[in-house]
Amino acid sequence: MNLNQITVPSLDLSKSVPFYKKLGLQLIVDALPHYARFECPNGASTFSIHQTENLPKGDGIYVYFECEDLDLHVAKLVEKGVVFEQLPLDQKWLWREARLKDLDGNQLILYHAGENRLNPPWRIHNESTD
């Protein structure tokens, strides 16, 4: 199994699409006003937004986008006017993260974890994977 697509809700895709393009995602499906799909610049994953009348309640959705050169990527986005809630910061779980919200309040985390994403020092080792 491979997670390769995620979809988040949006109240207004005409505003959300330019926001995600500014982050560096490439628009590959334009079915406005109801749906849009983007290709991530690295790897084979896609990300989409779909129109909804109501947004989820509570903390909502957290989406992580890994960036090789996080600090440089964030600096370029800040120059383009993207507002971050947290600039790149080393975390105790050994990732470096910057946080922002999209126009619908979905939490976006731009991060770099490197080897620690799949192999943190506290990783459990299973004898078998049934």
pLDDT (tens digit, 9 = 90+) per residue, 65-79? 999 999 999 999 999
Letter string b/e over residues 6-20, b meaning 16 or more CB atoms within 10 A of that residue's CB = eebbbeebeebbebb
Nearest to 87 by CA among 68, 102, 72, 106: 72
Cβ of 49: how many Cβ atoms within 10 Å?
Answer: 25
CATH topology of domain 5-116: 2,3-Dihydroxybiphenyl 1,2-Dioxygenase; domain 1 (3.10.180)
- Please indicate whether residue 18 or residue 128 has the higher confidence score (pLDDT): 18
Q: Could you state, in order of their start, the residue ranges of all structural domains in the chain?
A: 5-116
**pTM of the predicted model, to two decimals?**
0.90
pLDDT tens digits along 5-17: 999 999 999 999 9
What rounded mean pLDDT belongs to the chain?
94
**Please, what's the largest Cα pairwise distance for the chain?**
49
Q: What average pLDDT does range 37-53 have in this prediction?
A: 95
pLDDT tens digits along 83-96: 999 999 999 999 99
Residues pairing with 97 in the sheet: 89, 111
Whole-number pLDDT of residue 16: 97
Q: Position 47: which residue type? A: F
Cβ of 124: how many Cβ atoms within 10 Å?
Answer: 5
Whole-number pLDDT of residue 128: 64
DSSP notation for 45-103 = -EEEEEE-SSPPSTT--EEEEE-TTHHHHHHHHHHTT---SEEEEE-TTS-EEEEEE-T
The span from the CA of 107 to the CA of 56, in Å, is 12
